[in-house]
A and B are shown apart, each in its own frame.
Chain A
Amino acid sequence: MKVLYSFITVIVLIIVASIGASIANLHYVFGIIIPYLAFIMFVGGFIYRVVKWGRSPVPFRIPTTIGQQKSLPWIKQNKIENPSSAFGVIVRMAMEVLLFRSLFRNTKTELREGQNGPELSYGSAKWLWLGSLFFHWSFLIIIVRHLRFFMDPVPFLVQAFESVDGILQIGLPAIYLTDVFILIAVTFLFCRRLVVPQVRYISLPADFFPLFMIMSIAGTGILMRYFFKVDLVAVKELAIGLATFQPVLPTDIGPMFFIHIFLVSILFAYFPMSKLMHMGGIFMSPTRNMMNNSRMVRHINPWNYDVEVHTYEHYEDEFRDKMKKAGLPVEKE
């Protein structure tokens, strides 16, 4: 049911885009206005969300320590997973963001009946890590590749990414590795949500929707490249028009393009109000981006306030006689 809702939503979006693509009068809306709006909503919304997070303080130093602390000189500290220096934190964050370090730790718990009763085992489970890594890296490279439409002349770096991505030189135009990877990875992530009962149980429509969107975006992109071909020069003219604030609308781009750019626009606009904000959130996660040095440097809580306490005087007043009988020193006789 949850899957169906998301699926129908994406289908409706594709139909809307197809209508837009088939009516030439709407091309200006679908090719120029909606992409601009989506871009503003994405960048603006992203900044708004991060600022909103940033307006709440981090009152306590709460890193999750995943290794030996800094203590005695001869005990080897895990300087990355339990960092006490800014450099350690940077390496830790880089490993989380670029390599998905924590996901790499993933295990699969299994309960089986052994000879002497039940046995729990924790096998290695790297598929989620591998799928996510391929998915995110492919996504990033695809975005970088697309800069060739938005930049004129096309920078060397973008061309370099592209030639590496198409290194296999299979087919014409040559197949991009990232296109293959992202389709496989997104399908894996989707199937995982459907097939693993626990993951299916926790999944919301909001978890399937982005997967369907990305599938459709990658799908339309691939269709456009290999099957329903569009005039690339016209596409680039439109894109450069957007990037130079001199929008032009070339005729006859081809309908698949309008479906593609509409879905991309919707995903970008949707991004800041969804779980996709994990892209920004990971950088601000207090359990990962803090040094474990709270015994070395006092962490300040801006809203630290005085609380009602039970002082020693209260305590002695209540127990003075008992204390004296037990031979304990007292402040007041």
Chain B
Amino acid sequence: MTKRRQRLLAVAALVVGVGVAAALGFTAFRKNMMYFYTPSDLVAGGVPEGASLQLGGLVVQGSLVRAEGLKIEFKVADCEKNVPVRYEGVLPDLFREGQGVVADGHLGPDKVFVATRILAKHDENYMPPQVAESLKGNPESGKHSCMPFKAVAAS
């Protein structure tokens, strides 16, 4: 009888333990999940202000403006639309105008994306897959050159 009760207790403990773990995991997951958006998605609206998300695209040529300290503003664009981004901090080594970036952050009330972290990869081979994919639809060789886009962005 005691053996049986002990086993029951063990099973109950396991169920409770796994339940707590699942609940913890689930809430943590929901709170920390970030969706990936392209600038077109953000411009189209429907993204709640303040929700944390990832924005990926190319840094528009000539859009980089530095303020005092380490404050910086630039525009991130895909082949159609662009979104202003604000960031304060040290930029990654591979950050360049005209190159791909992924920024974590949220959309501010003034429709400016406030970035908390910026990732950049400059080589086409090292381009974040999300960016590469959002730039697809370019008939030339699939090399993500996106030349037509750069023309749009610069204008």
A binds B: no
Please give the residue numbers on chain A whose beta carbons come within 8 Å of chain B beta carbons, in ascending order.
none
